[in-house]
Amino acid sequence: MQLIHTRWYYSLLWLLLFLPGAVVMAAEPSIQRFAPKPFGYQMGDVIRHRIVVRTDENFALVREALPRTGALDYWLELQSVSVEESAGGQKYVILLDYQVFYAPLDVRALELPELEIKLASETQTRSLKLPAWEFTISPILETMGARFSESGVYMREDAAPLLRTASSHRQRLFIWLATGLVLAATATGRSIWLRGSRQPFRRALVQLRRLARHGDTDSMYEGVRCVHRAFNEVAGESVFADTLDRLFQKQPGLEGLRQRIENFYQQSRKLFFADPALADNASDRMGFAELKHLCRDCARALK
């Protein structure tokens, strides 16, 4: 007797283990709807619904029972119906495209009709239903009781032009003008400096200032040579004390400095060609200050 109870216990246990599989195999057909947002539609919009039907191998979709394309109401039309079959006939994807032709004066709630899908086997027929789908539709034009045109269409006033302040533009203009003036002044100053640097006596004056920092006898000799080179350059030849007349003929502007230029050449001759005592005396009488003053006046006379 105990052996019979034990066998019955194990039989019941095996039945419980295989029962879930049997339930799965006998699962009921299902239907699921995938729809877009239920708001924000206007006249002429197309709304697509995706219906997924799952069934077992015993049932198949009755395609003849699907909704027919065409007008469903005065404001609603079913444009297209398509079916995709997969999973060996156990899954169907139905695409329904609805187009709305309703033109409300304000936001209205509408419904797509309920949907019935039929499945059939060799011995029976099943129906799967989806409830009506509610959505809202909005007017294309605003509806207000003011500012209508003569044709009856609501018109908004023209937008006022954006007023911009001119202060920022004036500020930029002043900046550009100031920059232009600085650049022009820089260019003019550079041009004047270049012209002055090409003037022989200007160059001699720069060299004299550098030599004057040393203050020794050799620097004095070199300073006198710089002034001689300046006179030679403006004359286009070597200038000596006895050829100064030709210098004044070529450069009439120096005529007013004749006496000082002649004195320079006399002191220069004593500095380079006289005995040391006379040379020291000439060096004392013709210092850097006198040479720089002479070069500065000659440069002004030749402008």
Q: What digits encode the pLDDT tens for the residues 208-238?
A: 999 888 878 888 889 999 999 999 999 999 9
What are the backbone dihedrals phi and psi of residue 64, each rounded to the nearest 5 degrees, phi first?
A: -65, -20
Does 15 reside within a domain? no
> Cα–Cα–Cα angle for 42, 34, 82, nearest 5°?
85
206 with 272, same domain: the answer is: yes
What pTM was estimated for this model as a whole? 0.42
Residue 130 belongs to a domain: yes
| Structural domain of 268 | 195-301
Q: Which two tokens stand for residue 183?
A: 């650049």
pLDDT for res 231: 92
Q: Which of 137, 155, 177 is the last residue of a domain?
A: 137
Are 284 and 267 in contact, with CB atoms under 8 Å apart? no
Over the stretch 3-21, which tens digit does the pLDDT of each residue have?
444 555 555 555 555 444 4
**Is 104 part of a structural domain of the chain?**
yes
Contact 254, 248 (CB under 8 A): yes
In a domain, 162, yes or no: no
User: Mean pLDDT across the chain, nearest whole number?
Assistant: 82
Residue 172: predicted pLDDT = 87
Q: Give me the amino acid identity at 194.
A: L
Tell me how far apart the alpha carbons of residues 292 and 206 are, in angstroms, rounded to a whole number.
9
Residue 22's pLDDT is 41
Query: Which pLDDT score, from 0 to 100, does residue 4 have?
Result: 45
The segments of the chain whose pLDDT lies below 70 read 1-27, 142-156, 189-198, 274-285
One domain, residues 39 and 125 = yes
In a domain, 217, yes or no: yes
Q: Quick one: tokens of 270?
A: 């004593």
